[in-house]
């Protein structure tokens, strides 16, 4: 990933890189913010307290880069800078952007912060580009700054070919864009190529790719299942990197790809090795594949970068896995109705220089990807929960626990905030992972550095918050992008015993007394026997299920009271749960009923004096169109 043509070699000559005698932060991350236009480049580095930016933009006027709550302009924290064309003097400013709705006659207010928190390190311009380097505290405690955290950073950037006529009058941008990044993560490391090849001749690659999947103009959402036979492994390998491999110009269509290892029940006799497996109808072949291929090898989504295992661990490929099948699940999202063929998949970098630990990936989720998950319409904050019980972690984790190294949080389009909570002996620890500025269009695993221990008896909860103000009817759980999900993929070591998944959901027996039924007269409560008969019927009879979905979509009254009652059920009712271990073959699921643990919630220590808390922002809502 070497693309930079920075003009900052000039800065070396200017010789102002030192900041008050401290060791400068290394700019070890880099990204082209606009890969199509190629006019905005960012490299950065950080230590425990500060972040150091070097921005290069194709302008001789001003450039700006901001942190937004949601990708929109409103309530964004903006760094604005330019290099004076006549004097060569660089200026950097800390500003706060208030953008009224597009329908208002008021103009954008880009006010100067009272507290100027960006410290200019250097600035220069070439014949075509301007480069600015500046440093800021990660958390400034200024109410007109946004903190840099491990959450997704929703960057906005813009520029104008003219220098401002004066430091207080800024002409409107001529070019702008947005980009989501996990900035305090190992992604975008400038030297990632070196990590790939650090093992030298011991290193090889193996690509697991779909084979010319046809996507037609009619296709909107499609899941495609491919079974790919692994080669013979003469010795044990460790996978050290997984890379997205996307067919050229299909970037807009490939939504995500997951590769799972199959057990030996999937063999050469399996009737089909590649088939459309979209989740809208019963698909016996899909169910067989999903039931027999459960251990995640790698996953990526739109916007993902290559993902590296930390040096102490790798994903094992052993001689026993020779000739085994890998199940590749490609999710295509084709709202524009393109017609293409696709051979995307996951690329693996393998090494024979084995690392001390075998790694594995497991999933924690709201486990019923169906109508028991309901997000009512017109609600700014509604949450669902997927639980991995203390009993499950006690049963399947080794006595010394596991070390979590990566977490991939996932919802669909309504998701705004996701937490992976960890509860030990009735007390919540700091979230294992969280993202309060989740961007559905950016699917990337967070690195957990240093790794975090999960012990037998810990309860894990993935908690997903949705904003459904854009929807006029209920959103059900489902595999299509307009439907919802709530899950976290956890990569950890040591890999034994191998946990395939751990999930919970809300039983329809619990939901039906609240929602009533399309088959019962309204207002008359259903007896427990009627509810349980109905939930059986919905499960067994697709046409009853359709009627229930119609009833919830168009007849049910989503009053604030009903929304609150359903929210309470997700939050605190008993959950059926499943705990699957692949240490037995075939994977043996254990079902149970769990009661959500009562625990004292974790309190984030405030880094700031109370009146200026950096965490007191309102979420800012949806970006303006």
Ligand X SMILES: *[C@@H]1O[C@H](CO)[C@@H](O)[C@H](O)[C@H]1NC(C)=O
Handedness of CA 512, 516, 517, 523 (dihedral sign): positive
- Say how far residue 436 (Cα) sits from the centre of its chain: 11
Residues in the chain: 625
Span from 86-94, 383-391, 413-421, 436-444 in contact with ligand X (CB under 6 A): 383-391
Rule CB under 6 A: choose which of 10, 50, 544, 624 binds ligand X.
50
Range 516-555, binding ligand X (CB under 6 A): 527, 529
Q: Which is nearer to ligand X, 289 or 340 (CB)?
A: 289
Least separation, in Å, of the C-beta of 59 and ligand X? 25
For position 22 contacting ligand X by CB under 6 A, the verdict is yes
Query: Which residue from 116, 203, 352, 391 is in contact with ligand X, where contact means CB under 6 A?
Result: 391
Distances (CA, A) of 501 to 220, 298, 465, 484, 595: 28, 15, 21, 19, 18
19 belongs to the binding site for ligand X (CB under 6 A): yes
Comparing CA positions, the residue from 331, 342, 231 lying closest to residue 278 is 331
Q: What does the buried/exposed string (b/e) look like for 53-65 if buried means 16 or more CB atoms within 10 Å of the residue's CB?
A: bbbbbbbbbbbbb
- Selected from 14, 89, 109, 172, the binder of ligand X by CB under 6 A is 109
Name which of 283 and 353 has its Cβ closer to ligand X. Answer: 283
Q: What angle do CA 459, 465, 466 make, to 5 degrees?
A: 150
Does position 49 interact with ligand X (CB under 6 A)? The reply is: yes
Distance in angstroms (rounded) separating the CA atoms of residues 596 and 599: 9
Q: Judged by CB, which is closer to ligand X: 389, or 437?
A: 389
Can you tell me which of 58, 236, 265, 471 binds ligand X, judged by CB under 6 A?
Answer: 265
**C-beta neighbour count of 277 within 10 angstroms:** 21
Give, as ranges, the residues between 569 and 588 that touch ligand X (CB under 6 A): 586
Compute the CA torsion angle 333, 335, 337, 341 (nearest 10 deg).
-20
Q: Which long-range contacts (CB under 8 A, 24 or more apart) does 266-275 make?
A: 266/227, 266/292, 266/293, 266/325, 266/327, 267/325, 268/229, 270/227, 270/325, 273/226, 273/227, 273/228, 274/210, 274/211, 274/213, 274/224, 274/225, 274/226, 274/227, 275/224, 275/225
Q: How far is CA 602 from CA 81, 246, 379, 428, 430, in A?
A: 39, 40, 25, 5, 6
Determine, following the binding rule CB under 6 A, whether residue 389 of this chain makes contact with ligand X: yes
Binding string to ligand X for residues 222 to 241, with x set by CB under 6 A, is what?
A: --------------------
- In the complex, the smallest distance separating the C-beta of residue 156 from ligand X, rounded to whole angstroms, is 18
State which residue has the least CB distance to ligand X. 291
Indicate which single residue of 177, 291, 456, 482 sits in contact with ligand X (rule: CB under 6 A): 291
Alpha helices in 520-601 (DSSP H): 528-540, 542-550, 560-572
Q: Determine the interface stretch with ligand X among 75-83, 167-175, 275-283, 589-597 (rule: CB under 6 A).
A: 589-597
Closest approach of Cβ 521 to ligand X, in Å?
Answer: 18
Instruction: Tell me: does residue 111 bind ligand X (CB under 6 A).
Output: yes
3-state secondary structure of 503: strand
Binding region for ligand X (CB under 6 A) out of 30-38, 43-51, 485-493, 617-625: 43-51
Task: Pick one of 25, 206, 383, 429: the residue that binds ligand X (CB under 6 A).
Answer: 25
Closest approach, Cβ 277 to ligand X, in A, equals: 13
Question: Of residues 116, 162, 288, 562, which one binds ligand X by CB under 6 A?
Answer: 288
Question: Count of residues binding ligand X (CB under 6 A)?
Answer: 25
CB of 564 to ligand X, least distance (A): 26
Coil, helix or strand at residue 508: helix
Which residues bind to ligand X, rule: CB under 6 A?
19, 22, 25, 47-50, 98, 109, 111, 135, 265, 287-288, 291-292, 389-391, 527, 529, 586, 592, 594-595
């Amino acid at each position: 990933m070497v693309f930079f043509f920075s003009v900052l070699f000039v800065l070396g000559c200017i010789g102002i890189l030192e900041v008050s005698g401290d060791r400068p932060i290394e700019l070890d991350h880099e990204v082209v913010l606009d890969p199509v236009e190629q006019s905005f480049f960012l490299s950065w580095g950080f230590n425990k307290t500060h972040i150091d930016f070097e921005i290069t933009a194709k302008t001789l006027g001003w450039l700006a880069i901001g942190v937004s709550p949601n990708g929109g302009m409103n309530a964004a924290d903006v760094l604005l800078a330019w290099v004076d064309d006549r004097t060569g003097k660089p200026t950097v400013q800390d500003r706060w952007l208030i953008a009224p709705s597009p329908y208002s006659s008021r103009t954008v207010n880009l006010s100067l912060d009272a507290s100027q928190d960006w410290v200019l390190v250097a600035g220069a311009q070439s014949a075509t580009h301007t480069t600015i380097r500046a440093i800021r505290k990660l958390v400034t405690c200024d109410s007109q700054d946004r903190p840099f955290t491990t959450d997704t950073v929703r960057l906005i950037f813009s520029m104008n070919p003219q220098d401002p006529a004066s430091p207080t009058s800024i002409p409107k941008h001529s070019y702008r864009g947005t980009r989501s990044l996990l900035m305090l993560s190992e992604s975008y490391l400038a030297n990632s190529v070196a990590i790939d090849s650090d093992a030298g001749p011991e290193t090889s690659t193996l690509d697991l790719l779909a084979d010319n999947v046809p996507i037609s103009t009619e296709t909107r959402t499609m899941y495609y299942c491919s079974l790919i036979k692994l080669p013979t492994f003469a010795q044990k390998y460790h996978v050290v990197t997984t890379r997205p491999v996307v067919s050229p110009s299909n970037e807009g269509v490939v939504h995500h790809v997951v590769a799972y290892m199959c057990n030996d029940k999937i063999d050469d006799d399996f009737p089909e090795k590649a088939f459309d497996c979209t989740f809208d109808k019963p698909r016996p072949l899909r169910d067989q594949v999903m039931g027999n291929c459960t251990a995640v090898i790698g996953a990526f989504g739109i916007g993902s970068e290559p993902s590296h295992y930390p040096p102490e661990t790798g994903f094992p490929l052993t001689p026993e896995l020779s000739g085994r099948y890998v199940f590749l699940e490609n999710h295509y999202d084709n709202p524009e109705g393109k017609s293409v063929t696709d051979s995307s998949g996951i690329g693996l970098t393998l090494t024979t220089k084995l690392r001390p630990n075998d790694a594995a990936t497991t999933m924690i989720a709201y486990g019923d990807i169906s109508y028991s998950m309901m997000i009512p319409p017109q609600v700014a904050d509604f949450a669902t929960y997927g639980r991995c019980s203390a009993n499950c972690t006690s049963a399947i984790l080794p006595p010394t626990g596991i070390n979590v190294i990566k977490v991939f949080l996932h919802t669909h389009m309504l998701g705004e905030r996701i937490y992976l909570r960890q509860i030990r002996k009735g007390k919540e620890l700091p979230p294992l992972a969280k993202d309060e500025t989740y961007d559905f269009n950016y699917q990337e695993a967070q690195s957990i550095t240093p790794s975090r221990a999960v012990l037998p008896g810990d309860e894990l909860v993935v908690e997903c918050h949705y904003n459904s103000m854009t929807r006029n009817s209920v959103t059900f759980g489902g595999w299509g992008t307009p439907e919802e999900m709530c899950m976290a993929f956890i990569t950890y070591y040591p890999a034994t015993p191998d946990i395939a998944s751990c999930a919970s959901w809300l039983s329809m027996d619990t939901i039906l007394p609240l929602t009533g039924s399309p088959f019962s007269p309204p207002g008359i409560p259903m007896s427990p026997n009627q509810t349980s008969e109905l939930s059986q019927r919905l499960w067994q009879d697709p046409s009853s299920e359709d009627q229930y979905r119609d009833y919830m979509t168009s007849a049910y009254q989503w009053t604030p009271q009903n929304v609150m009652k359903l929210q309470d059920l997700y939050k605190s009712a008993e959950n059926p749960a499943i705990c699957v271990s692949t240490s037995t073959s075939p994977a043996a699921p254990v079902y149970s009923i769990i009661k959500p643990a009562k625990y004292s919630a974790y309190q984030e220590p405030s880094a700031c004096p109370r009146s200026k808390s950096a965490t007191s922002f309102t979420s800012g809502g949806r970006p303006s169109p």
